[in-house]
């Protein structure tokens, strides 16, 4: 299975930290597209600003454009690789990825399940720990005994109560799904979506699974905004508790 690491060429320290982990030697580095110094007129050749604002109700940032275009460029590499079959998965990670213990062993066990989903989210952004309470409170799935255990591992896979913005720190994607993204680009004549808009991707017909606990989170050593995330979690805790029963019911129904 091919593995890709998306990283800005200038971020040497982030790459070194990533490759200091076990199970990373076989990753191929893709130099992320740096859009920060590009004019909007130039970016407009590749990204539809008005379609984005219509879809999301706000203006897009240059960083978001660079992220989306970088992931799409990796999909193009996957589609053009004749050694990858249509139903084969590729692993795509960003350079702030922190792997859980025995990552490769557990990833191999996951792939042995012969899953048919288009995308499998093995990681998530803006989460403090691999089995954080935020996962179950805000992004619940069905009861654990109804989730599918990955044999000989502590991991399970299932559907969340609904697709959501999970970040792009680490995920598996089939070549056939990559092709669908490129077809969308051709049909729309430009890109307009966020790289982690799994709600939209589900509307396109892509089947998206989650893995719990997480196999990958953002590395806290890289100074992410987890402090701000903690404040937001504390502020919204009771609101999330009130919404949890309905989300849980939706998750149970979706996984039946």
Q: What integer is the mean pLDDT of 146-166?
A: 96
d(CA 150, CA 215): 12
Q: What is the pLDDT of residues 193-233, one digit of tens each?
A: 999 999 999 999 999 999 999 999 999 888 644 345 445 54
d(CA 254, CA 177): 21
d(CA 126, CA 233): 11
Q: What integer is the mean pLDDT of 28-55?
A: 93
- pTM of the entire predicted model: 0.93
Beta-carbon contacts of 171 under 8 Å, excluding residues fewer than 6 positions away, are 91, 92, 119, 120, 121, 122, 123
Please provide the average confidence, as pLDDT, over all residues in the chain: 92
Q: What integer is the mean pLDDT of 92-101?
A: 97
> Which whole-number Å values give the CA distances from 39 to 9, 44, 45, 46, 74, in the listed order?
20, 9, 11, 12, 23
pLDDT value of position 103: 98
């Amino acid at each position: 299975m091919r593995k890709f690491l998306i990283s800005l060429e200038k971020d040497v320290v982030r790459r070194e930290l990533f490759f200091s982990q076990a199970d990373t030697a076989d990753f191929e580095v893709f130099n992320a597209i740096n859009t920060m110094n590009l004019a909007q007129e130039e970016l407009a050749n590749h990204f539809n600003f008005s379609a984005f604002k219509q879809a999301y109700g706000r203006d897009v940032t240059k960083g978001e454009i660079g992220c989306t275009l970088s992931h799409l460029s990796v999909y193009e590499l996957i589609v053009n690789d004749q050694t990858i079959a249509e139903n084969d998965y590729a692993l795509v990670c960003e350079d702030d990825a922190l792997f859980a213990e025995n990552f490769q062993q557990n990833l191999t066990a996951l792939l042995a399940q012969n899953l048919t989903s288009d995308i499998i989210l093995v990681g998530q952004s803006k989460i403090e720990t691999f089995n954080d309470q935020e996962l179950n409170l805000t992004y619940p799935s069905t009861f654990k005994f109804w989730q599918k255990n990955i044999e000989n591992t502590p991991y399970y896979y299932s559907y969340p109560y609904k697709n959501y913005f999970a970040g792009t720190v680490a995920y598996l994607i089939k070549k056939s799904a990559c092709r669908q993204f490129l077809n969308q680009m051709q049909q729309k004549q430009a890109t307009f979506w966020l790289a982690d808009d799994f709600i939209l991707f589900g509307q396109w017909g892509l089947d998206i699974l989650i893995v719990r606990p997480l196999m990958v989170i953002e590395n806290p050593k890289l100074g992410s905004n987890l402090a701000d995330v903690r404040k937001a979690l504390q502020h919204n805790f009771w609101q999330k508790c009130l919404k949890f029963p309905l989300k849980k019911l939706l998750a149970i129904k979706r996984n039946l």
